[in-house]
Amino acid sequence: MSPLRGSLEPLAWESQFFGISSAIVRFSDNAPELTLADFLPWQRLQAKIPAGCADLLDALQQSGFQLVEGEVDLTIAVGLHRATEADRATAQDIPALRQMAALAFAQSRFRSPWYAMEDSGRFYAQWVENAVKGTFDHECLVFRDPDGAIQAFVSLRQLNDSEARIGLLAGRGMGDKLMQAALNWAQQRQLSILRVATQMGNTAALKRYIASGANVDATAYWLYR
């Protein structure tokens, strides 16, 4: 079995939010070998590895890590896209958006038994609030019904001069509109690539992204200890 080489990077925000001392493994072939003594001080350790690294997967499982979920990262080329009727979310939308996010993302990798039953929804409720405020994600776009109630939302973050990433996307039956809004947002900023990630088991999201022109860029596994 290959040794685990790397370092443990504290996850300060997650530690505070969940009340669980947490760190993530940063792998490096040039780093010292990690031992059980390195792991013991932490209540929760996370590791994300390429899905093709079977040796690393085996080594992590031998060290007490358990598979949590698979993740697919996709990229979409930003071309010319039609304008949409999406609005920029405001502070008044936060309560409704928090409720929507909590329901839509109740079964993420922050689910039970690794975290408290309500923690996944609470985490993504905070994520969408931060997006509205422009922290972490830079903006949240929403679609409304004729009465002004929010039907769907998508949060977006510009990564660099050429790329952006979709953070959260939710709204039953609104996938095409949400993707068009996200691509239009990237187009307006003269970006060339839009990135998005989803769970391997979320075939509905995968089909939507591929129908919108996305290509699979990478696959990965999340493991916890």
Catalytic residues: 209
Residues in the chain: 225
E strand or H helix that includes residue 188: helix 175-188
User: Do the beta carbons of residue 47 and residue 71 sit within 8 Å?
Assistant: no
Alpha-carbon gap, residue 59 to 55, rounded angstroms:
6
Reduced to 3 states, what is the DSSP secondary structure of residue 14? helix
State the CB neighbour count (10 A cutoff) for residue 222. Answer: 17
Tokens representing residue 223 in the block = 């493991």
E strand or H helix that includes residue 200: none
Beta strands in 84-201 (DSSP E): 87-88, 139-144, 150-158, 163-170, 193-199
Alpha-carbon gap, residue 171 to 151, rounded angstroms:
6
Tokens representing residue 104 in the block = 């839509």
Reduced to 3 states, what is the DSSP secondary structure of residue 11? coil
